[in-house]
Structure formats: structure tokens, C-alpha cells
Amino acid sequence: MKTIIINNNSKHIKELASLFSDVVILDKKNLTQDFDINGYDLLILSGGSNVPTVLRHPEEYTFEIELVRKNSIPILGICLGTEIICEAYGGKLQELSEKHRGSIKLKIEDIKLKLQLGKDELEVVEGHQIGVKTLPENFVSCALSEHGIEILKHKDKLIVGFQFHPEISDNKKLLDWAFETLKITNQSSVLFFEG
């Protein structure tokens, strides 16, 4: 399985890449309108550090938004990547009252995820100030925190978004659920294209 990660200046890109085999990392600045997604089996949109928000600057993410809209392979969004998915499908984002950093408890809503975890709460690591206010059409919430929607997925398409950082949350069962939901399998070996 070949995975492409669009790196939105994530501080955790190496941790994220280590979760997948046959990985190509493409920095956002090198993404062009005519980028060919053919040949890849999974698209990951990373989180971002010290970058413009999707809420106030959607034009900064035009190529990624288009890629999400026209793409038919599975998509996994992490933090900023989830906000890009939300924007692409017409959801509403909001600025939270303060930046949230560190551990937070999630209340799990998705039945399969509850079964996979064996519980209905989970602690994860987040770092963001933008949240999902309104789900896009045909998306469902899979987990909530006191800050709002933390996990979302499309009802029919293979799209999952985490508003936190599963790559540093150290919860294998959560990632197993995401991979199963996206119908992907895992191996190991990383190739960097940082440009």
C-alpha cells in the first residue's frame, strides 16, 4: 500500500510517517494543481504548526481542498487536515476561546470504536484553536470532547478526520479502528520528499 502525506508544516511528521509503509511525504509548498494522486492508496493531510488557519485563509489550502473533493482514495485528516476536509465538504469551522494543548478526554460515540477500545472514553493529545462547528453533509461525529467534535467520518466515503494528534497519542486500538474504517493495511519503510 502506497501512502502520500501532504505535510502542512507538522511538528510530528516523522511520528506520523512511521505509522505507514511505502510513504511519500510531499511538503504543501510543493503541491500543485495538477498533482497526480493516481498510484497512491491513501492520502493523509497532516496537522500544521505556525501556519494560517483554514477558517480565516481557505485560499492557502486551495490545492488540498480540491484534492479532497475530487479524490476517490481513502483520506485521513489530522488536526489541520481535518479542517481542510471540513472546508472541502461544506462544514463550518469556529475559533475556540483559547488554544488547546495537551491531553484531553474524548467521549466515544461510534459503536465500533467503543467495541475496539473496550470503553467509551479515551485520552488523546491535541494542540489547536480551531474546531468543527458544524459537520459537513454526510459526515458523522464519532467522538466529542469539551471542545467539540474530535473524530469525524464520512457516511459512505473512506474519509476519517481526527481533530487531535493520534500519531503522538499512543493508542494503537484507535489507529486500528481508523485503518479498518479506511479499509487499509499497514507495513513499514519511509521515503521523504521535502523539496
Residues 107-164 pLDDT 10s: 999 999 999 899 999 999 887 789 899 999 999 999 999 888 999 999 999 999 999 9
pLDDT bin (cut points 50, 70, 90) of residue 4 is very high
Written as nine digits, the cell of 46 is: 497532516
Positive or negative, the CA dihedral 44, 159, 148, 144 is: negative
Backbone phi, then psi, for 5, in 5-degree steps?
Answer: -110, 120
Q: What pLDDT sits at residue 188?
A: 42
pTM for this prediction? 0.91
* pLDDT single digits (tens) 46-58: 999 899 999 999 9
147 is catalytic: no
Question: What domains appear along the chain, each with residue ranges and CATH number?
Answer: 3-193 (3.40.50.880)
Which is catalytic among the residues 64, 126, 150, 167? 167
Confidence (pLDDT) at 195: 36
End-to-end CA distance of the chain: give it in Å, rounded: 23
Is 167 marked active-site?
yes
Select which of 12, 64, 79, 128 is catalytic: 79
Among 98, 97, 7, residue whose Cα is nearest residue 49:
7
